[in-house]
Structures are given as structure tokens and as C-alpha cells.
Structure 1
Amino acid sequence: MKLEIKDIHKSFDGNEVLHGVHFSVESGKALGLLGRNGAGKTTTIRILMDVFKANSGSITMDGKPFHPKEYKIGYLPEERGLYPKKKVREQLIYLAQLRGVSYKEASDSLKHWLKRLGIEEYENRRLDTLSKGNQQKVQLAQTLLADPDIVILDEPFSGLDPVNSQILKDVVLELIQDHKLVIFSSHQMSYVEEFCEDIAIMNHGSIVLNGGLKEIKRSYGQNRLVLQLAGKTPEATADICRQELLSYVSVYEKQKDRVILELQEGRTKTELLAAIVKAKLDVEAFMDYEPSLTDIFVWKAGDEA
């Protein structure tokens, strides 16, 4: 399956909040839908689920108009929505039946997911008696109970300790391997880098960057290099580069124990390395620069910072 969001516009009371949003995601892959609070991610997801209607644009599945009722969608919202005073089993089976799952199927699926997530002992406990992390795992069980075709996870790691985070990471990887269509939204960029082949970054209601994560990293690291000199602070290394290598590079950024250099126009990495050797600099590290997703996100969506 291939889901495509094409040129979606949405206004509220005459104020346009989505300006031609576009991205796609395929079964067996995870898309990282990223953006600061208020960027338009939740509105986009609600349009996808037919909670809101778009003013214009289209959503297709395999080239045909997408109708959410024809697919099983599992949605884990950032703002949790279960009933705190109700028992876990009671409400999860009820919610699964609302989505067309039989009582027996819901009961069997519930047993599987509670065991898989390590919370089977809480099956007949009220939700509000559980820890925040276990409540989050109940929410995830609810998301997956009906064996959805499309899984939308919004900040799924919220409230989880490292052990439970690993359980959830394993589950997300299993969903991808099972050829589910996964949309993953989180501010924890390390998880996005771990799961997502593709990303779409939103800013002020527009997609400002969209594509394969590896290719994006490669393009943002182009003509940039990492240099670390033995026994030198980043400040000292930057000063030496300005004195000895100015015609080859500029100092792009200073980091914890290294500097990021940018090649001057027309210069090559081989020429820079020869200049470093000629200057008799004691090199501890010299390599191509690959930016983190956090770096890229700040560059594209950090305009207000």
C-alpha cells in the first residue's frame, strides 16, 4: 500500500493553517512526521482520519481516493483518551468492538498484546491505578488491538523508562516488518532516526523538507568535514584553521571536542588534507560530516529559536 497526501489546505475561521501539505508513506516503512508544537501535524493526522475535512487537496491509497472507513487505523494520540476509572479489559474490548472486531477476536488480541507489553497482570485493574508508563502501554495495546493496516504513533515513548522503551522499539520494528503502514511523530529524534527511512518536516503549516533520511543527511553534510586536533579545544582548533587553512575552509560550527569545516568553493577534500599535513597539525580525527536529525530539524524548523 502507498498512502499519498497531496496539496492539502485547511483553514479555520478564514485562517489557513495548512498550506499545501504533501508527503507519502508505504507499507513496510515508517515515515517520521516532524514539527514543532503548532506546526500542523495533528491537524494533518485528523484530516487523514476524516475527523476534519480539508478545504482542498486529496489523499489517495495506491492511486485511488482514500476512504478511512475502508481501512483499519490504529491511532495513538499525544493527548491520551482512555477512561481512567474503567478497568483495562472492559474498555479495550469495548473500543475494539466499536471498530468491528468480534468479542472473541478482541479478547484473544487483548491477551496477546497485554502479554507482549508485559502488563497482563493489570487486565482487571482500573486504568488510573497504573503508573504513567503502564498507562501508556495500555494505550498502545488499544492502538494495536484491531490489527490495524495503518498505525499512527504520536509521541509513543512519552512516560516510558528505558526498559519499556526497548519493548516499544521492538514492537514498532515488528509492525514495520509486518508491512504495516506506519506514521511516527516524536520530538525524540533518536527514535525517528532508528525507525524511519523517510521524513517530512513541517513548519508553520507547510512541509519544509521531505524525502529519504539518508539522502537528506548526505546532502546536508556535503562539502562539510569534521576535524579534531590532538590536545586542542574546539576554540583552539577553530583559531588554527582560520590562521593556517583559511584559503581551504571556513569554520562552520564548533562542537564539544571538534569543529565542523566547510570547504571553500572550488576546493577539494584532498587539497585540504595536503594543507593539514603541510602545516604539521596533529590530527586526531578527520572525516566527512554527517549531521544528526536534530541538527537538520533545527535548521529547517528552528526559525523562531
Structure 2
Amino acid sequence: MHPLRPVTFLALGISAVYAAGFRQITEPFGPNRNNLSFYVYEPLSLKIPAKTVVALHPCFSSAPDYFLNTLYSASADTYGYLVIYPSSTQPDGCFDVGSELTLQHNGGSDSLSVVEMVRYAVERLHADPEHVYVTGTESGGALAGVLAGAYPDVFGAAAIYGGAPFGCFAGAGDDFWDAACAAGQVTKSADQWGDLVRAAYPAYTGARPKIVLWHGTEDSRISFANYQQQLLQWSNVLGTDLSKNPTLNGYPRANYSLTIFDGGSIVGYPATGVDRVPVDVQDDLLWFGIAVHPLPVPPPSQTPAAGPQATSS
């Protein structure tokens, strides 16, 4: 393994023991068109073969920031899983979620770079290829959706925070940001959104990742309208009936709701009055099956939440 460059964790106030597991892989791991940086967290308690979580930071951030500001690494000490932290090297810290390359299976750009990190981890870091999951916030959330769509053979589940539909940022250009998508102005039918995902890997006929969506109704970076559009897209891809949607209000905290759609291939956590939803690692680990205690099941007596229908209209 390669030691950390002196990103000086002493200055950041992190113990040497804890920081020792956070490393940058500096050797080549794939084409890596946009020169993403590749960090991993390997707990001393790593269980081999290791379940793996890919954690993707938002714009104006980095892998070290996401390592510090989320609890995936601390939970990895408890559950013994590996964490991969890709890091954008763009000036604004955004990932490519809209180019033709990134939206195609094995096409290239950031989605392929992340998959190459996973492949490296399988070959060199004892990662279990049957248990790889992806999560991310904002630009990282959008990339988590891209990876779920273009690489359903790699990822078993995705947890998307403040993200956007697969293909919503298409054509964004070199700055990797599309104002219309971010503002919730890109709308399509369920069939149209689903076709974009299927076109990413036309030959694929296997199982697809289950999806959990976290989104604040007052999100100032990626409009809550994209929560609704993602529901349309993934319901179409996964064959989920959005009208079957028992909801538990006040979970996991006040102003949030847990909605389990049609048996649970899609779960939603809309957060009323919230801007950027903080990462909820414990619920993500339950979703990924790394923690084994099940999500609460909303009682059938609760009023179903209003939501878009999975139709082509």
C-alpha cells in the first residue's frame, strides 16, 4: 500500500491510528481520463472478502473532506468494510455526470474511473465483487445514479443524496454542471427516463441495483423536483409501482418521511424544509445489507404519500 502524502492529519486533528487507514493510491489504476484521485479507507477490522462502499463527494469538496465529514470510515471500523473515496480534480470539484463517455458502460470518463478503482480494490485490496455499493452527495449523488445505471453489473445498491436522474446533466460540457437540470427544469416521462438508463448498457439483462433517494425540499443546489424525476426513472427501470407507497412520517428524524415503494426496490426520504440532507450512514448500511437490522416497515394504515405514477404519460 502507498503511504499518504502529508495531507497532514495532525493539522486536521485526527488521531494517527485513525488516519493510518486512509490512504491515497498513487499507482495507475486505469485510463482515468479526468485524472481523478483515488483514496481508500481500510479499517484494521477489515473482513475478507470485504464489502465495499464507494463514497462520492459533492462539488466544492474532495475525498479528504468527505472522509472527514461523513461517518463511513468510523462505521467501517465497526463493520469491517472497505471505503473507496474518489476525488475530483476539477477546479469546482464536480464529477462528470453528463458526457457521452460517462453515460455509457465502459465508455470512459469519471464513471469508468470509479469502476476501475473498484476493479483495483477487487484485485489488490480484497474487495468482494459481489458486495459493492455506491453513495454520494449532489454531484457525487448524481454520479452514484450514473454508476447504478451504466454499471448495474458492478453495484448492488445506491444511496443518492440530493442527486438527479441519469442523463439529466447530459451535454453539460466541460464544467460538468447544467443549470437547467440543477433547477429541476429537465422533465421527462418515466419511459423516456428509463430508456436513457437502458441505452447505457443495451446488452444487459441481469438484476439492477436498488435505489434509495434522500432529498431536501429546500435543496439550494439541486432542486427537489429532481427527486420526483428520479422516482419516475428508477420506477420504470426497476418495474416499481409508485402508487404502492406506505409512508412513515418523522423517520429517521423530524421533518423526514420514509416511503417504501412497492416492496422496497426504491425507498425515498424526502426532508421537508431541509436544504442539503446530511449523510445518514447507519440507514445506508442497513440499505446495503452491511448492517443487518431491517428498515422499519410503515404501517399500512398510514396515508400513502403523493407521488408520480410510473407511466409513460
TM-score (norm 1): 0.28
* Higher helix fraction (1 or 2): 1
* Higher strand fraction (1 or 2): 1
Q: Which has the larger radius of gyration?
A: 1
Where relative contact order (Cα < 8 A, 6+ residues apart) is larger, the structure is: 1
